[in-house]
Amino acid sequence: MILGLIEQVDVRLIGLWGMGGIGKTTLADAVYKEVFAKYECRLFLQNISEKIKKQGNESLRNELLSKLLNEKEICIDTPSIGYPYQERVNNKKSTSCPDVSDPDQIDFMGVTYFGPGSKIIVTSRDRQVLKNQRAHRIYKVKELNENDSLQLFSTFAFKLLNPAVDFRDLSCKFVEYVQGSPLALKVLGSELYTKSKKEWEGKVNKLKQCAELKISHILKSSLDELDEEENNIFLDLACLFKGQAMDYVEKVPSICYKGATCGISKLVDKCLLENKYGCVFMHDMVEEMGKDIVMRKSECPGKRSRLWSCEDMEEVFKYDKVSVNCIYFLFTLW
């Protein structure tokens, strides 16, 4: 699919879109190595957002141009790329594969000046970023299927393509848990390598209680760009409304949030939520992350902002320990 898009003459900017850890950068890297080796001028620029935080916009752009133009040191301290660099870049058939969270980052890097025939792959967790850059095509990177997931997990857990016979059932439980996320398969597989069967069973039970920190950290970065209201809408959906009809879900949060419809749309763009068959769909690990955020606020269920467990609700009503913040969410479920 991606190779077909690259071959199209009118396609210049291709966006790879998907949730954190789904394999966007890995896919971009594979395409870069297979297709762009024939390009005279090429560059794979990874983790733009992180690099900008560390070294600043100008420094990163100068580094990019130095590599593209094969010049030892370039220093541009203006907002846009001017003469003579603009003309020199325009004469290059350039390729860049950045990972961006803000459309201004793409503009600042000067990719709009790349010459005819250039192919630019941009990976992002936010579809709106790609839309704002008028990407010619946006490709959603999908989860791995069950067989590929089991093979990838086994590669890290056993250093083999298939799991050991005694560990096959347990391996399938981990594969079911991560729902096709390559990052999660790698993290869990690596952690379980050479571990005993008893340790594997303990890890399965632990995952049912709390999210894996390394995976959760990657997913949580998508929440950093949400405002307070959008974050609250996400927590409502993760804790209470997964599987509900989307029409119903869009109405209920509106009681509390004026921007509920826009907030839900933003969550969809950030791959934190999906409208599947008219219902709210959320990856299990994303749902678990939301619930974990709420539970970490307080060990006491009555002091949490949201309750979804029947046992917790029974305890709260029995001992009258409910906080004011919980009341709305408790009765929403009735």
pLDDT per residue as tens digits for the range 42-71: 777 777 777 777 777 777 777 777 877 777
Domains identified in the chain, total number: 3
Full pLDDT tens readout for the chain, 334 residues: 777 777 776 777 889 999 988 999 888 888 888 777 777 677 777 777 777 777 777 777 777 778 777 777 777 766 667 667 667 766 666 666 667 777 777 777 666 677 777 788 888 999 998 998 888 889 999 999 999 999 999 999 999 999 999 999 999 999 999 999 999 999 999 999 999 999 999 998 888 666 677 788 888 888 888 898 899 999 989 988 888 888 888 777 655 777 788 889 999 999 999 988 888 899 988 998 898 888 888 878 777 788 887 787 777 777 655 554 554 444 444 4
Per-residue pLDDT reduced to its tens digit, 266-286: 999 999 999 888 888 999 889
The CATH number for 36's domain is 3.40.50.300
Per-residue model confidence (pLDDT) at position 297: 83
Find all residues with CB under 8 Å of 59, minimum gap 6, and list them: none
Per the CB < 8 A criterion, the answer to whether 130 and 122 are in contact is yes
Q: What is the side-by-side order of every strand in the sheet holding 137-140?
A: 95-96, 119-124, 13-17, 137-140
Residue 223 maps to a domain: no
CATH number at residue 232: 1.10.10
Q: Are residues 18 and 127 in the same domain?
A: yes
Domain check: are 316 and 259 in the same one? yes
| pLDDT at res. 187 | 92
Q: Are residues 119 and 151 in the same domain?
A: no
Claim to verify: residue 205 and residue 266 sit in the same structural domain: no
> Residue 219: inside a domain, yes or no?
no
**Domain interval for residue 86:** 2-140
CA neighbours closer than 13 Å in the CB half-sphere of residue 6? 19
Preceding omega of 84 cis (within 30 degrees of 0): yes
Contact of 272 with 282, CB cutoff 8 Å: yes
Query: What is d(CA 170, CA 12) in angstroms, rounded to the nearest whole number?
Result: 45
Report yes or no on 11 lying in a domain: yes
Compute the residue count for the chain: 334
- Are 181 and 21 in contact by the 8 Å Cβ rule? The answer is yes
Whether residue 23 contacts residue 2, with contact meaning beta carbons closer than 8 Å, is answered with no
The reply to whether 113 and 152 lie within a common domain is no
Residue 225 burial class via C-beta count within 10 angstroms: exposed 0-12, middle 13-18, buried 19 and up: middle
Q: Are residues 194 and 260 in the same domain?
A: no
Amino acid at 57: N
Residue 45 lies in a domain: yes
137-140 vs 274-276, strand pairing mode: unpaired
Q: Which residues of 137-157 are buried (b: 16+ CB within 10 A; e: fewer)?
A: bbbebebbeeeebbbbbbbbb
The CA distance from 321 to 316, in Å, is: 5
Q: Quick one: 202 and 236 in the same domain? A: no
3-state secondary structure of 121: strand
My answer on whether 112 and 165 are in the same domain is no
Specify the pTM. Answer: 0.82
